[in-house]
Chain A
Amino acid sequence: MLRFAIPVVVLLGLLALLGIGLRLDPREVPSPLIGKMAPAFDLPNLDGSARITPLDLQGRPVLVNFFASWCAGCQVEHPVLMKLAREYGVEIVGIDYKDTREAAEQWLARHGNPYRIIVADALGQAGLDWGVYGVPETFVLSADGRVVYKQIGPMTDAAWRDKIAPLLAQGSASR
C-alpha cells in the first residue's frame, strides 16, 4: 500500500522548498548592470532647458533615483531622500519616470526637491534600458560612471546606512 505514503513524500518536498525559501529574500532582485557602465540615454531635463546624458553624471559618485509623481512608494522614501540631500550633501539625480512636467513640478513643490538634476523620462525609455521593475528604484553610480548598487523599492535609512554610505565612502577614498 505504498500509494498511501505519497502524500507524506510530497509534503517532505514541499517542506524542503519552504525551508530554502526562508533563507531567500524575495525583494532582492539582482541587477545585471552591477559593475557595468550606466546605460546610455539622451533626454531633456524637467524644464526642457538642457539635454542630459550619462556623461553629465560622471566625475563624482551620484545616486540615480527613478521616481514619479503618481507613485506612492516615492512619497514614502521622499523624506529619506530629502535628508540625504540636505544633511549629507549627497548628489541625487532624479529620473522622472512616465510622468508629465506639470505633475512632477507640483509634486516637488509640495514635498520638496532633493534632486540636483532632474531628467524627464516621459515615455519610460531610460527606465526600460536601466531595467526598472517599478518606481521607486535607486542606482548608485561610482565616479567613473559604473553602476555599483541597486535599491529596489523605497530608499530607507537602513539601506543608506548599511549599503550605500559605505559604497560612497569607498568611491571617494579611491579617487
Chain B
Amino acid sequence: MAEIGHYALILALAVAIAQGVLPVLGYWRGDQRLLGIGVSGAQTQFALVVLAYAALSLAFVDNDFSLTYVASNSHSQLPLIYRLSAVWGAHEGSLLMWLLMLTGWGFAVSLSSRRLPPDIAALVLATMGAISVGFLLFMLATSNPFERQFPVPAEGRDLNPLLQDPGLIIHPPMLYMGYVGFSVAFSFAMAALITGKLDLAWARWTRPWTTTAWLFLTMGITLGSWWAYNELGWGGWWFWDPVENASFMPWLVGTALIHSLAVTEKRGVLKSWTVLLAILAFALSLLGTFLVRSGVLVSVHAFATDPARGVFILAFLTIVLGAALLLYAWRAPRLVSDGAVQLVSREGLLLLNNVFLVAAAAAVLIGTLYPLVIDALGLGKISVGPPYFNAIFLPLMVPLAVLVGLSARIGWKRAKLGEALWSLRWVALTTLIAAVLLPYVLERSFAWLAIAGTALSVWLMIGALLDVTHRVRSRRDRWQGLRSIPAATWGMTLAHFGLGVWTLGVTYAGLFSVEKDVRLGPGQSAEIGAYTFTFQGTEHREGANYQSDLGTVFVERSGQPIATLNPEKRLYPSQRSVMTESAVDHNPRRDLYVALGEPIGDADWALRLYYKPFMRMVWFGGVLMFFGGILAASDRRYRLERSALNAPVTSAQTAAT
C-alpha cells in the first residue's frame, strides 16, 4: 500500500510539471487547449495526493512499522485518533499534509475557474502547479514518508507526547491551510503581473481566497496559543518563539493584504503595493517553513532537522521568490493606479494601517533573524526575547487600534478630518469614562497602562459597531437598513470587535496576572487574592500509553467552593518523557490555573498556581476574527458570475473594507 502512495506522489510530480509549464505555453501561443490543462492538471494532482495521503494514513492505522516514518511516530498502544493525527506529527508527514492542502486549494480554484477568464485561471493554476513541483521534489528527494526499513521493528517509538492532545489534532492543519492558502493570492498576483491586467474584477476574485487563507491562519495561531497555554504548563499564551513568529509574520502581512485589496477593489489604487503584499504574505509563509525545518534557529518546536533539507528549501525560496520579485520589478510599473490617495480618506487610513502592519511584521522578522545575523557576522550568540518584541510590537499596535474607530467614520476619496472627529465625540467620551472606571472596578487599579489598554479595547469594540449603526440609521426603515448590510460588513465588524476583545484580554491578563510557586503537602493550602487552593495529594493512575500522578486541588473563594482541579504529571515510557497536564478552571472573567511541578519529599509537591483575569478573551478575540473572516469571505458579490462582474456595483456592496 505504501508503494502506491509513493507512486502516486511521483505521478503527481509529473502532473504538476505539466500543470506548471503547459498553460504558460498556452498563454504565450494563445492555445486554448493548453490553457485548459491548468484545470484538469489541478484536479488530477489533487486526486493523486489524496491517494498518497490515504496510503500513509492506512499505514498508521495498520501499525505498519516497516515504514520508518510510522515506526518513529506511532506505537501499537497509541489511540486511533492520535494514530491518524500522527500522520502530520513530524516533518515528512506534515509536508505531505502541506501538499494535500496546496493541491486542495488548487482543486478549489479549478472548481471556481468558470467565473474567471480562461487565461487568468490557467496562469493561476500554473503558478500553483509550479509551487507544488517544488514541494513534491522536496518530499521525494529529502523527506519521503514512504521509506521502508529493514529489519522491521516490533514496536514503534511512539508519537511525541506533546502532540498527543486534541489541540494538536486541529492546530497544524488550520495553520497549514492558512500558510498554503496565501499561495492562491500569490498565484493571482503572478497572473496579474504576467497579463498586466489588474482591475476591479481581479481584486474581487482575489479577496475571498485571501480572506479564507487568513481566517484559517487566525484560527491556527489562536489554537496554537491555547494549546501552548494548556499543554506546556508554562502558563503563558505567546512566547515570541521563532516558530510562533513564523506564523505571525504572514498573518500580519496577510491582514495588510486584506485591507489593501479592499482599497484596490473600491478605488483602483495601490495596485502594485497590493501585488507586493500578496507576494510577501506567501514569501513569509515559505520563510516560516524554512526556519522551522532547517534548524537555523533554536526553537521549542524544532522539527528533526537536516542540513540537506535546509539547502533545498533555500534553493526553492530563491527560485520562487526570486522569480516572483524579478517579475514584479519588471512588470509592476505597468500597473497604473486610477487616481491618487489622499491621507484624510478611508483609503488613506487603510494605507496607514498597512504601513503599521508591515512595520510590525518587519520588526518581528528582524527580531527573529537578529540572532542569526549576529552569529553570521561572527559576533557571538545571543537570543532576542519577549522584552524586545513587546517593546517594539505593542507601540505599533496602538495607532492601528485608533485607526479602526477613525476609519469607520471617514469616507472614501476625500473627507474632512474635523467632521469625522466631531462625529466621534460621544464614542471618545464613552471610551474615556470606561477606561478610567473599568480597571478600578475590575482590579482596583489606576495603572496608566491598564487605562490605556482598556481605552483601546473599548474604542475598538465601539468603533467596530459604528459602520453597522451608521448604515441602520441612514435608512428610514431601520429593519430594512439592518437587512441590507452585506455579509462583508458584518464580517469586518465582527473581526474588529474581536480585535477589541483580544486587546482587553491581553491588557488584563498581561497586567494583573498573579503567579505563585508553592510547596504543598496533602491538606495544606495557599492563597491568591480571595482564592484559596487546597492540595489533597496525588494518586497513581495508568493511562493507555502512559502512567500518571493525578493531583487534586480544591479551590475556594471566601469559603465558597468553586472548583476541583486535577493537574497531572504523565510519564510516557516508550519515549521516556514526562508531560505536564495543567488543570484550569475558567470563566470569561478569569482563569485559575494549577500545574504540578516535581514531587518533594514523601507526599509534598511543588505546585504552580496562577490567577489570570480575562485570559479567555485573548482566544475568544481570535475566534471572533475567525468567524468575521468566514462572514466576509461568504459575501454574495464574490460569487457573481463573470458576466455580472464588471457591471457597476451598488455602494452597499463595495463599501465594506
Asked if A17 meets B376 with Cβ closer than 8 Å, knowing A4-B329, A22-B296, A72-B578, the reply is yes
Q: Is the CB of A8 within 8 A of B376?
A: no
Q: Does A50 contact B (CB under 8 A)?
A: no
Asked if A26 meets B296 with Cβ closer than 8 Å, knowing A4-B329, A18-B314, the reply is yes
Q: Does B381 contact A (CB under 8 A)?
A: yes
> What distance in Å separates the Cβ of A34 from its nearest Cβ neighbour in chain B?
15
Question: Complex formed: what's the CA distance from A30 to B295 in Å?
Answer: 18
Asked if A22 meets B600 with Cβ closer than 8 Å, knowing A7-B329, A15-B318, the reply is no
Asked if A24 meets B296 with Cβ closer than 8 Å, knowing A7-B279, A8-B329, A29-B381, the reply is yes
Taking CB atoms, residues of chain A closer than 8 Å to B577 are 76
Taking CB atoms, residues of chain A closer than 8 Å to B62 are none
Taking CB atoms, residues of chain A closer than 8 Å to B272 are 4
Q: Does A75 contact B (CB under 8 A)?
A: yes
Chain A positions 1-39 with a Cβ under 8 Å from a chain B Cβ: 1, 4-5, 7-8, 11-12, 14-15, 17-22, 24, 26-30
Partner of B600, one of A1, A4, A103: A103
Taking CB atoms, residues of chain B closer than 8 Å to A18 are 290, 294, 296, 314, 317, 372
Q: Is the CB of A106 within 8 A of B600?
A: yes
Q: Does A58 contact B (CB under 8 A)?
A: no
Taking CB atoms, residues of chain B closer than 8 Å to A107 are 598
> What distance in Å separates the Cβ of B609 from its nearest Cβ neighbour in chain A?
17
Asked if A17 meets B373 with Cβ closer than 8 Å, knowing A22-B314, A106-B601, the reply is yes
**Chain B 312-330 near chain A by CB (<8 Å), digits 1 or 0:** 0010011001100110111
Q: Is the CB of B600 within 8 A of A20?
A: no
Question: Complex formed: what's the CA distance from A20 to B375 in Å?
Answer: 9
Question: Complex formed: what's the CA distance from A5 to B333 in Å?
Answer: 10
Question: Complex formed: what's the CA distance from A19 to B290 in Å?
Answer: 11
> What distance in Å separates the Cβ of B161 from its nearest Cβ neighbour in chain A?
12
Q: Does B561 contact A (CB under 8 A)?
A: no
Q: Is the CB of B297 within 8 A of A26?
A: yes
Closest to A25 in B: B295
Q: Does B4 contact A (CB under 8 A)?
A: no
Interface of B is mostly: helix
Q: Does A113 contact B (CB under 8 A)?
A: no
Q: Is the CB of A70 within 8 A of B597?
A: yes
**Chain B 237-269 near chain A by CB (<8 Å), digits 1 or 0:** 000000000000000000000000000000000
Taking CB atoms, residues of chain B closer than 8 Å to A14 are 287, 369
Q: Is the CB of A21 within 8 A of B372?
A: yes
Taking CB atoms, residues of chain A closer than 8 Å to B310 are 22
Asked if A17 meets B328 with Cβ closer than 8 Å, knowing A7-B279, A11-B321, A22-B296, the reply is no
Asked if A7 meets B276 with Cβ closer than 8 Å, knowing A24-B375, A103-B598, the reply is yes
Q: Is the CB of A8 within 8 A of B322?
A: yes
**Chain B 273-303 near chain A by CB (<8 Å), digits 1 or 0:** 0001001100100010010001111100000
Partner of A22, one of B307, B318, B329: B307
Q: Does A69 contact B (CB under 8 A)?
A: yes
Q: Does A102 contact B (CB under 8 A)?
A: yes
Taking CB atoms, residues of chain A closer than 8 Å to B644 are none
Question: Complex formed: what's the CA distance from A59 to B298 in Å?
Answer: 37
Closest to B333 in A: A1
Taking CB atoms, residues of chain B closer than 8 Å to A102 are 600-601
Partner of B376, one of A24, A70, A100: A24
Taking CB atoms, residues of chain A closer than 8 Å to B373 are 17
Taking CB atoms, residues of chain B closer than 8 Å to A22 are 294, 296, 307, 310-311, 314
Taking CB atoms, residues of chain B closer than 8 Å to A1 are 332-333
Closest to B381 in A: A29
**Chain A 92-106 near chain B by CB (<8 Å), digits 1 or 0:** 000000001011001
Question: Complex formed: what's the CA distance from A72 to B373 in Å?
Answer: 30
Q: Does B453 contact A (CB under 8 A)?
A: no
Q: Does B371 contact A (CB under 8 A)?
A: yes
Q: Does B510 contact A (CB under 8 A)?
A: no
Interface of A is mostly: helix
> What distance in Å separates the Cβ of A99 from its nearest Cβ neighbour in chain B?
10
> Which size bracket describes the interface of B in this complex?
35 or more
Closest to B321 in A: A11
Q: Is the CB of B329 within 8 A of A15?
A: no
Question: Complex formed: what's the CA distance from A69 to B600 in Å?
Answer: 10
Q: Does B599 contact A (CB under 8 A)?
A: yes
Closest to B272 in A: A4
Closest to A22 in B: B310
> What distance in Å separates the Cβ of B341 from its nearest Cβ neighbour in chain A?
16
Question: Complex formed: what's the CA distance from A69 to B280 in Å?
Answer: 46
Taking CB atoms, residues of chain A closer than 8 Å to B298 are 26-27
Q: Is the CB of B296 within 8 A of A69?
A: no
Chain B positions 329-349 with a Cβ under 8 Å from a chain A Cβ: 329-330, 332-333
Question: Complex formed: what's the CA distance from A162 to B405 in Å?
Answer: 62
Question: Complex formed: what's the CA distance from A121 to B26 in Å?
Answer: 73
Closest to B309 in A: A22
Chain A positions 100-147 with a Cβ under 8 Å from a chain B Cβ: 100, 102-103, 106-107
Taking CB atoms, residues of chain B closer than 8 Å to A106 are 599-601
Closest to B295 in A: A26
Q: Is the CB of B322 within 8 A of A11?
A: yes
Question: Complex formed: what's the CA distance from A88 to B74 in Å?
Answer: 34
> What distance in Å separates the Cβ of A48 from its nearest Cβ neighbour in chain B?
17
Closest to A70 in B: B598
Question: Complex formed: what's the CA distance from A44 to B287 in Å?
Answer: 50
> What distance in Å separates the Cβ of B316 from its nearest Cβ neighbour in chain A?
11
Taking CB atoms, residues of chain A closer than 8 Å to B307 are 22
Question: Complex formed: what's the CA distance from A12 to B329 in Å?
Answer: 14
> What distance in Å separates the Cβ of B198 from its nearest Cβ neighbour in chain A?
14
Question: Complex formed: what's the CA distance from A95 to B311 in Å?
Answer: 40
Q: Is the CB of A21 within 8 A of B375?
A: yes
Counting chain B CB atoms within 10 Å of each CB, the highest count among A22, A24, A70, A103 belongs to: A22
Closest to A23 in B: B307
Question: Complex formed: what's the CA distance from A17 to B295 in Å?
Answer: 14
Taking CB atoms, residues of chain A closer than 8 Å to B290 are 18
Chain B positions 592-628 with a Cβ under 8 Å from a chain A Cβ: 597-601, 606
Question: Complex formed: what's the CA distance from A71 to B205 in Å?
Answer: 53
Taking CB atoms, residues of chain A closer than 8 Å to B330 are 4
Question: Complex formed: what's the CA distance from A46 to B375 in Å?
Answer: 39
Q: Which residues of A contact B (CB under 8 A)?
A: 1, 4-5, 7-8, 11-12, 14-15, 17-22, 24, 26-30, 69-70, 72, 75-76, 79, 100, 102-103, 106-107
Q: Which residues of B contact A (CB under 8 A)?
A: 272, 276, 279-280, 283, 287, 290, 294-298, 307, 310-311, 314, 317-318, 321-322, 325-326, 328-330, 332-333, 369, 371-373, 375-376, 381, 576-578, 597-601, 606
Question: Given known contacts A8-B322, A21-B372, A27-B298, what 10 new A-B pairs fall within 8 Å (CB)?
Answer: A7-B279, A8-B326, A15-B314, A22-B296, A26-B298, A26-B381, A70-B597, A76-B576, A102-B601, A103-B598
- 30 contacts across the A-B interface (CB closer than 8 A): A7-B279, A7-B328, A8-B325, A8-B328, A11-B322, A14-B287, A15-B314, A15-B318, A17-B373, A17-B376, A18-B290, A18-B294, A18-B317, A18-B372, A20-B376, A21-B297, A21-B372, A21-B376, A24-B372, A24-B375, A24-B376, A26-B295, A26-B297, A26-B298, A26-B375, A26-B381, A72-B578, A75-B578, A102-B600, A103-B600
**Nearest 5 A-B pairs (CB), nearest first?**
A8-B325, A21-B296, A1-B333, A5-B329, A20-B376
